[in-house]
Amino acid sequence: MDAFSSSFLSSTFTFPSLTTRPPIAPSSLPQIPSLNISAVRIEEKQPQSLTAETSSQSSKTQVHKPPPPPPRRAALPTRNIPKKGAAEPSLPVTIFNALDDVINNFIDPPLRSSVDPRYVLSQNFAPVEELPPTECEVTDGSLPPWLDGAYIRNGPNPQFLPRGPYHLFDGDGMLHSIRIPQGRAILCSRYVKTYKYTIERRAGSPILPNVFSGFNGLTASAARGALSAARILTGQFNPVNGIGLANTSLALFGGRLYALGESDLPYSLRLKPDGDIETLGRHDFDGKLVMSMTAHPKVDPETGEAFAFRYGPVPPFLTYFRFDAQGRKQPDVPIFSLTSPSFLHDFGITKKYAIFADIQIGMNPVEMVTGGSPVGTVPNKVPRLGIIPRYAKDESEMRWFNVPGFNIVHSINAWDEEDAIIMVAPNILSVEHTLERLDMIHASVEMVRIDLKTGMVTRHPLSTRNLDFAVINPGYVGKKNKYVYAAVGNPMPKISGVVKLDVSQTERKECIVGSRMYGPGCYGGEPFFVAREPDNPEAEEDDGYIVSYVHDEKSGESKFLVMDAKTPNLDIVAAVRLPRRVPYGFHGLFVRERDIKGL
């Protein structure tokens, strides 16, 4: 799963083996006294710099030598670490931090494993410090010349160790970019410089509450709500400037690159020639986007248009909109036929329609009263799929279809057929565990057919494996495709490999036609498909590469893998040893050099 929205509240390469331990049950967690930490930052020794010639320019550019290999597992520091330029906390900040400690230690301590930072931030989920552009070693094979650009992956990386409850989705967004200029590899890790990140770095401690873990139960919600109101009144932060983390995904459209998190506006980015990442700022599209938008916009590769939406706790619970090829936002289309707040993380588009899923996750006041999350399952709700014309100006042609038992968080692709719409998506079979027990989730990739004449909906599974974080060749968004590349949960959120599915098979059988498992104790992230010749209309759909970061939990070493997407075993084309570990994260994007230069 990836960073759910806070909108509701505003075999050439193998790793050494390791026997994985089973998920920790809450009852088996060690009884450790409550921590009373006012603020802690993770600081890592920066690699020494050297001067190297970049392939893209004749002038000298600063890159860095790789630091020594990381230890297998470092203990998290438990003391304050001073930062350069940080001012002494003011009296209001000191008082409010003390009140925050009272809430975190006595009113709402992190008792559940899903919000206990000792568990959530263990192993390779632990945060890392920023890394400037650093040369990497290609240890196996060679990087193909067609990989001319940068692979960037987003994910949560808390700037400060949590003082209280912390959910996996609550971390500040950090981008891990591997720039590939002419066969070389340069890694850079930078925070998205959101408003939240900036004011908290300046203050030297957390200011904004954690949305997914900070409002469990009425007492905790009232206490943290009152504390947040006091911080606003004393000028510590202004929610008008955004509360988002930008920790979920990336998108490229209208000549701009964005870091996305659906609780806020997009943050515009720039990639520098040396491989560094710069946050340009929060982007409101000339004032036309005043609220949040999805972290999964769909970009039509043929028209250059982008399609998006937002959702929230008050009517209209869903609003659909689009951007033209130049990135200009078009008028909102409010959807009032969605009659209750629902968790809509992703959606699909075809050449004619946009498709939304109204699933069994939404606002759950009963759970909140009993100490649970305000966002949870609604067991008596029947899931639905809604379709609206792609260029609709209002919701007059919106149609809803009941699809019992179909709960999707991510959409893979959708397309039009004669008098029908086809959608491929992972169905969450254990939706009640979606937020609390990610390790118990099983997602089955299914194909759904909506008959527009009869209103009949049929569906069938494409695989029995636990698959999510699936991607296709980006050139096939919104039109019929044959191949899907999906991450194997073992269990989620850890990913033990990637499989290739042929969704064109008409027989109802296992559709996996290719597979690459990373080996015992080795876990990766969402795969991403990079076409070898994206501008060649005659190129085969699977003619390209699958890329991903992979981490070996025994050695503590991370690598960047490039796999041949056409081969049955997804053969390793190149492996790059990274100068330090890359934590597990969410969604990524490959940006070609020609697009980087146009940003």
Residue numbers belonging to the annotated binding site for Fe cation: 296, 345, 410, 587
Q: Is 306:296 a contact under the CB 8 Å cutoff?
A: no
The DSSP call for residue 569 is T
Angle at 461 between CA 565 and CA 249, to 5 degrees: 55
DSSP string computed for 320-345: EEEE-TT-PBPPPEEETT--S-B---
Q: Is 522:551 a contact under the CB 8 Å cutoff?
A: yes
Q: Is 495:487 a contact under the CB 8 Å cutoff?
A: yes
Kindly report the backbone phi and psi dihedral angles of residue 566, in degrees, each rounded to the nearest multiple of 5, phi listed first.
-85, -20
Range list of H helices, 59-211: 91-102, 117-120, 195-203
Among candidates 473, 542, 548, which has minimal Cα distance to 518? Answer: 548
* Cβ within 8 Å of residue 63, ≥6 positions away: 49, 50, 52, 54, 132, 133, 134, 135, 186, 274, 275
Q: Is 447:424 a contact under the CB 8 Å cutoff?
A: yes
Provide the annotated binding site: 296, 345, 410, 587
Look at residue 576 and give its three-state secondary structure. Answer: strand
Range list of H helices, 353-398: 365-369
Structure tokens at 188: 């850079």
Structure tokens at 151: 């692979």
* Cβ within 8 Å of residue 176, ≥6 positions away: 152, 153, 155, 187, 188, 189, 549, 582, 585
DSSP string computed for 487-555: EEESSTTSEEEEEEEETT--SSS--EEEEEE--TTEEE---EEEESSTT-TTS-TT-EEEEEEEEETTT
Length of the chain: 599
CA distance 513 to 499: 8
* Cβ within 8 Å of residue 528, ≥6 positions away: 151, 471, 546, 547, 548, 588, 589, 590
Look at residue 204 and give its three-state secondary structure. Answer: coil
Asked whether the CA dihedral 152, 567, 137, 62 is positive or negative, the reply is: negative
Structure tokens at 561: 């893998």
Helix or strand run (H / E) with residue 468: strand 467-471
The DSSP call for residue 568 is T
Q: Is 441:492 a contact under the CB 8 Å cutoff?
A: yes
